[in-house]
Amino acid sequence: MTDNLNPELTTTTESTDESQLTRANTIVRAEDHARPLQLSNITIRYGGDRGGAEPVTVVEDFNLTLHAGEMHCIAGRSGSGKTSILTVGAGLTFPTSGRVLWEGDSLEQMGDDEIADRRRALIGYVDQGGALIDGMSALENVLLPAVPDGEVEQRTEMAKDLLDLVGLGRRMRHRPAQLSGGERQRVAIARALILGTRVLVVDEPTASLDRASANRIISILKDTTNDGIAVLVASHDHELVRLSDTLTELN
Ligand SMILES: Nc1ncnc2c1ncn2[C@@H]1O[C@H](COP(=O)(O)OP(=O)(O)OP(=O)(O)O)[C@@H](O)[C@H]1O
């Protein structure tokens, strides 16, 4: 794929200025663009509240630096903590201890509103199954993240381009029920890229897909990294593991 999935990214990385302005109006140093996501000494523990379920430590002292233009795969058996790490990295949940840094800034120093703003500008999250809204077309689903900022009109061409790039240019008016599992997953990936994402976080994107559909998803994720986007993916798919640039295997 030679087309650029992320025009905003090109604009910012081509600049030689030491500091750059992101959509969230935050000054980001150039070197921090190269490491959009870092997890430092992350421990995730669930339960243990008074009267609650038994405590379970899922992840202990976990470290990861995700680089721009790289696909990192978190592999491991079911229940090993892959989704837990993805949601912590995306700032959707908080670790029990440790630090999450987005472009060099620690989430500990941010309030809820700033985390939400920064997440919208930085991260596209595709959850397991890539849930879409049933009553909306593929195009409307892709444009959904642009609704809160009133940017639907301005992003419509980009949404069409993204659907083209994931091979669904002729299915824009189709609703999720009219698409296959792999096609729905591709719409979900396009939707996660619509705001000019620099980090694409994807949970088990090839689960329950046949080999051909799974390979198509993998090649879209690889193409995404060619545009400088960092991809963090949880998967036990051998082909995805093989094609990732870096790998963490959880026990
Ligand atoms: N909110 C929660 N409260 C208690 N336990 C939880 C919670 N969320 C996850 N867990 C437990 O933490 C462990 C890790 O879950 P997680 O979903 O991160 O694993 P996973 O590797 O993504 O699994 P899978 O491959 O099956 O999706 C599991 O044992 C799960 O039951």
Query: Dihedrals φ, ψ of 124, to 5°?
Result: -110, 125
User: Cβ distance 224 to 245 under 8 Å?
Assistant: no
Residue 138 alpha carbon to ligand 1 centre in Å? 30
DSSP-assigned beta bridge partners for residue 32 = none
Using DSSP's 3-state secondary structure scheme, residue 55 falls into coil
Residue 83 alpha carbon to ligand 1 centre in Å? 7
pLDDT digits (tens, 9 = 90+) for 12-56: 333 333 333 333 444 555 566 789 999 999 999 998 776 677 889
Domain boundaries of the chain, sorted by first residue: 37-249
The interface predicted TM-score of the complex, written ipTM, equals: 0.97
User: Cβ distance 13 to 232 under 8 Å?
Assistant: no
Instruction: Please indicate whether residue 58, judged by its CB atom, sits closer than 6 Å to ligand 1.
Output: yes
Using DSSP's 3-state secondary structure scheme, residue 108 falls into helix
Instruction: Please indicate whether residue 47, judged by its CB atom, sits closer than 6 Å to ligand 1.
Output: yes
DSSP-assigned beta bridge partners for residue 46 = 56
Closest residue CA from atom 29 of ligand 1 = 79
Residue 231 alpha carbon to ligand 1 centre in Å? 21
pLDDT digits (tens, 9 = 90+) for 148-184: 989 999 999 999 999 999 999 999 999 999 999 999 9
Closest residue CA from atom 30 of ligand 1 = 79
| CATH code for the part of the protein at 37-249 | 3.40.50.300
- Give the integer Cα–Cα distance in Å for 119 and 87: 12
pTM for this entry: 0.87
The pLDDT value recorded for residue 131 is: 87
Residue 46 alpha carbon to ligand 1 centre in Å? 9
Residue 193 alpha carbon to ligand 1 centre in Å? 26
Instruction: Please indicate whether residue 176, judged by its CB atom, sits closer than 6 Å to ligand 1.
Output: no
- Give the integer Cα–Cα distance in Å for 167 and 220: 9
